[in-house]
Chains A and B, each alone.
Chain A
Amino acid sequence: MLKDKIAARIPTVRVEEGAALPTFVAEPGDYRALARLLRDDAETPFDYLVCLTGVDRGDTLGVVLLLESTGSGQRVFVQTGVAERERPVLPTVSDLWETANLNEREVYDYLGIRFAGHPDMRRLFLRNDWVGYPLRKDYKIDGAVNPVPLESDESPDVTTVYREDGSEETRALFDETDYVVNIGPQHPATHGVLRFRTALEGEIVKKVDVHCGYIHRGIEKMSESLAYPQILALTDRLDYLAAHQHRHALCLCLEEALQLEVPERVKYIRTIMDELNRLSSHLLFWSTLCMDLGALTAFFYGFRDREKVLDILEETTGGRLIQHYNVIGGVSADIHPNFTRRIKEFIRYLPPMLKEYDRVFTGNVIAQERMKGVGVLSREDAISFGVTGPSGRASGWACDVRKRRPYGVYDRVDFDEILFTEGDSFHRYLVRLKEIEESLHILEQLVDNIPPGEFAVKTKPVIKLPEGRFFKSVEGSRGEFGVYIESRGEKTPYRLKFRSTSFPLVSVVPHLARGSKIADLIAIGGTLDYIVPDIDR
Chain B
Amino acid sequence: MFDFSIITRWIDQLLRGVMPDAAATVVECVLIGLALLLGYAVIALALIYVERKVCAWFQCRLGPNRVGPFGLLQSVADMIKMLIKEIIEIKHVDKFLFGLAPYIVIIASVTAFACLPFGRGLQVLDFNVGIFFLIAVSSIGIVGILLAGWASNNKYSLIGAMRSGAQMISYELSIGLSILTMVVLSGTLQVSGIVEGQVDGWYLFKGHLPAVIAFVVYLVAGTAETNRGPFDLPEADSELTAGYHTEYSGMHFGFFYLAEYLNMFIVAGVAATLFLGGWMPLHVPGWAGFNEVMDYIPSIAWFFGKVGVMIFVIMWFKWTFPRLRIDQLLRLEWKYLLPINLLNLLLMVIVVVYKLHF
**Can you list 9 pairs linking A and B with CB atoms under 8 Å apart?**
A187-B241, A202-B162, A293-B322, A294-B322, A296-B59, A370-B322, A517-B326, A519-B326, A520-B325
Known: A189-B238, A189-B239, A295-B321. 4 other contacts (CB 8 A): A181-B155, A203-B327, A300-B61, A517-B327
Q: State whether A369 touches B328 (Cβ < 8 A).
A: yes
CB of B60 within 8 A of chain A?
A: yes
Give the contacts of A491-537 with B (CB-CB under 8 A): 517-520, 522
Q: State whether A364 touches B236 (Cβ < 8 A).
A: no
Q: Which of A188, A304, A518, A519 contacts B60 (CB 8 A)?
A: A304
Given A187-B241, A300-B60; A360-B328 close (CB under 8 Å): no
Report Cα–Cα, A536/B69, bound state, in Å.
48
CB of B85 within 8 A of chain A?
A: no
Given A188-B237, A292-B238; A517-B59 close (CB under 8 Å): no
Report Cα–Cα, A370/B163, bound state, in Å.
17
Report Cα–Cα, A293/B328, bound state, in Å.
14
**Residues of A near any B CB (own CB < 8 A):** 179, 181, 187-189, 200, 202-203, 290-297, 299-301, 304, 360-361, 364, 366-367, 369-370, 517-520, 522
Given A294-B230, A369-B328; A519-B59 close (CB under 8 Å): no
Binary CB contact string for chain B from 133 to 174 against chain A (1 if under 8 A, 0 otherwise) = 000000000000000000000011001001100000000000
Tell me whether chain A's interface is mostly helix, strand or loop, or mixed.
helix
Give the contacts of B29-67 with A (CB-CB under 8 A): 55, 58-61
CB of B25 within 8 A of chain A?
A: no
Nearest-CB residue, chain A, relative to B242: A188
Nearest-CB residue, chain A, relative to B323: A294
A520 neighbours in B (Cβ, 8 Å): 325
Nearest-CB residue, chain A, relative to B56: A300
Q: State whether B323 touches A519 (Cβ < 8 A).
A: yes
Nearest-CB residue, chain B, relative to A186: B241
Q: State whether A179 touches B155 (Cβ < 8 A).
A: yes
Which of A179, A203, A304 is the most central at the interface, judged by chain B CB atoms within 10 Å of its CB?
A203
Give the contacts of B207-238 with A (CB-CB under 8 A): 229-230, 232-233, 236-238
B55 neighbours in A (Cβ, 8 Å): 296-297
Report Cα–Cα, A181/B324, bound state, in Å.
21
B157 to chain A, nearest CB (A): 11
**Residues of B near any A CB (own CB < 8 A):** 55, 58-61, 155-156, 159, 162-163, 229-230, 232-233, 236-241, 319-328
A367 neighbours in B (Cβ, 8 Å): 322
Nearest-CB residue, chain B, relative to A361: B322
Given A518-B239, A519-B236, A519-B239; A370-B325 close (CB under 8 Å): yes
A185 to chain B, nearest CB (A): 12
Q: State whether A294 touches B325 (Cβ < 8 A).
A: no
A369 neighbours in B (Cβ, 8 Å): 324-325, 328
Report Cα–Cα, A292/B60, bound state, in Å.
19
Report Cα–Cα, A179/B229, bound state, in Å.
27
B61 neighbours in A (Cβ, 8 Å): 300
A522 neighbours in B (Cβ, 8 Å): 238-239
Q: Which of A181, A188, A295, A299 contacts B320 (CB 8 A)?
A: A295
Q: State whether A296 touches B324 (Cβ < 8 A).
A: no
Report Cα–Cα, A370/B60, bound state, in Å.
26
B155 to chain A, nearest CB (A): 5
A292 neighbours in B (Cβ, 8 Å): 238
B232 neighbours in A (Cβ, 8 Å): 294
Q: State whether A366 touches B323 (Cβ < 8 A).
A: yes
Q: State whether A364 touches B322 (Cβ < 8 A).
A: yes
Q: State whether B319 touches A297 (Cβ < 8 A).
A: yes
Q: State whether B326 touches A203 (Cβ < 8 A).
A: yes
B229 neighbours in A (Cβ, 8 Å): 294, 296
Report Cα–Cα, A366/B319, bound state, in Å.
14
Report Cα–Cα, A297/B56, bound state, in Å.
9
B228 to chain A, nearest CB (A): 11
B194 to chain A, nearest CB (A): 33
Q: State whether A294 touches B159 (Cβ < 8 A).
A: no
B333 to chain A, nearest CB (A): 15
Q: State whether B230 touches A366 (Cβ < 8 A).
A: yes
Q: State whether B322 touches A297 (Cβ < 8 A).
A: no
Give the 3 A-B residue pairs with the shortest CB-CB distance, closest first.
Answer: A294-B323, A300-B59, A295-B322
Nearest-CB residue, chain B, relative to A291: B238
Q: State whether A181 touches B159 (Cβ < 8 A).
A: yes
Q: State whether A188 touches B241 (Cβ < 8 A).
A: yes
Q: Which of B60, B239, B319 contacts A296 (CB 8 A)?
A: B319
Nearest-CB residue, chain A, relative to B162: A202
B230 neighbours in A (Cβ, 8 Å): 294, 366
Q: State whether A517 touches B325 (Cβ < 8 A).
A: yes
Report Cα–Cα, A494/B218, bound state, in Å.
69
Nearest-CB residue, chain A, relative to B231: A294
B324 neighbours in A (Cβ, 8 Å): 366, 369-370
B241 neighbours in A (Cβ, 8 Å): 187-188
Report Cα–Cα, A271/B326, bound state, in Å.
44
B155 neighbours in A (Cβ, 8 Å): 179, 181
Nearest-CB residue, chain A, relative to B236: A294
B206 to chain A, nearest CB (A): 32
B60 neighbours in A (Cβ, 8 Å): 300-301, 304
Which of A189, A299, A367 is the most central at the interface, judged by chain B CB atoms within 10 Å of its CB?
A189
Which of A295, A304, A520 is the most central at the interface, judged by chain B CB atoms within 10 Å of its CB?
A295
A491 to chain B, nearest CB (A): 47
Q: State whether B320 touches A360 (Cβ < 8 A).
A: yes
A299 neighbours in B (Cβ, 8 Å): 59
Report Cα–Cα, A202/B158, bound state, in Å.
10
Report Cα–Cα, A227/B179, bound state, in Å.
75
B24 to chain A, nearest CB (A): 51
Report Cα–Cα, A301/B324, bound state, in Å.
21
A296 neighbours in B (Cβ, 8 Å): 55, 59, 229, 319
Nearest-CB residue, chain B, relative to A517: B325
B159 neighbours in A (Cβ, 8 Å): 181, 200, 203, 518
B239 neighbours in A (Cβ, 8 Å): 189, 518-519, 522
B320 neighbours in A (Cβ, 8 Å): 295, 297, 360
Q: State whether B322 touches A181 (Cβ < 8 A).
A: no
Report Cα–Cα, A293/B239, bound state, in Å.
9
Report Cα–Cα, A526/B171, bound state, in Å.
29
Q: State whether B238 touches A188 (Cβ < 8 A).
A: yes
A200 neighbours in B (Cβ, 8 Å): 159
Q: Which of A202, A295, A297, A519 contacts B325 (CB 8 A)?
A: A519
Report Cα–Cα, A295/B230, bound state, in Å.
8
A152 to chain B, nearest CB (A): 16
B323 neighbours in A (Cβ, 8 Å): 293-295, 366, 370, 519
Report Cα–Cα, A292/B156, bound state, in Å.
16
A528 to chain B, nearest CB (A): 15
